[in-house]
Structure 1
Amino acid sequence: MSAILDRWLTRLYRLIGSALVLAACGFVSYTAGDWHWPYHVLSAELSTPEVAPGGTLRQTRVIRYRAECEIRSERRLQSTGPEGRRVMLPQIAFGTPPWDRDGKPQTTETEVPADFPCGPATIVESPSAACNWVQRILGRQHKADVITPFRVVCAR
């Protein structure tokens, strides 16, 4: 009788363990499948399309936030002329979206270095977001780079 009871308990433990593993896999799959971009840019405007070295470049955007996510944007300033130069800018990061700015104009000011070469240039932004724990641990979702061209003008 002991062998029969032992066999049934082993089967019960395996059944419970398998059910727990399947439930955990289903939960992780459901959470990992939650891929949506947390905001939508309604409008974007470059207030200063031409800026002198040492000046300030102003961008105004109206953004509609749609989810509670961590948002980061790595930014760099690049010269596209013959004297190519790249300057890394401070990262813009939000632990949660700024809900008080939802649907309102947001202005970003960027200092152009005084020794930046004259000619065509771009600001390249690489946005990423993490909306759940799987994305925070394993890998954030990324969107295509946002490239904004402008011109650095020098007095001649």
Structure 2
Amino acid sequence: MAKTTRGTRALEQAGVAFSVHAYAYDPYAERVGLQAAEALGEPPERVLKTLMAMVDGKPVCAIVPSDREVSMKKLAAALGGKSAQMMKPADAERLTGYKVGGISPFGQMRAPRVVLEEAALAHASVYINAGQRGLQVRLDPREALRLLDGVAAPLVA
């Protein structure tokens, strides 16, 4: 498994401190994010999943704890939109340049608006997908938010 991805390169180029953590990715896991948390031996609220959605027809990236579901109503509200829906997997892969299960908010082909679940900011460090299935980066969530030029808001249902 390569430890360098577009995501890790974006973090390096921005001078963000991070560490890379590989785990055995299970494509058949019922909930991939929870499987990642378990494999890493971390609580699910510190292992975040990257979800691609559409708000008022525009692509957005929502980053939430792996054990929670994003509220489409809250996601739309966080960006001043009226409605939100999950992006189809094929569209998410085409837009981001990553495979589902390995989508990172860092180094995407076209950077969408990003919303981070505000509860993640309570942690000194969180895990976010590095851009490859079975590969996570651990970093300060405030640094991730800064680099992604994102906003923090309550997103979970």
TM-score normalised over the length of structure 1: 0.26
- Could you say which structure has the greater relative contact order, defined with CA pairs below 8 angstroms and 6 or more residues apart? 2
Task: Identify, as 1 or 2, the structure richer in strand.
Answer: 1
Structure (1/2) with the larger helix percentage: 2
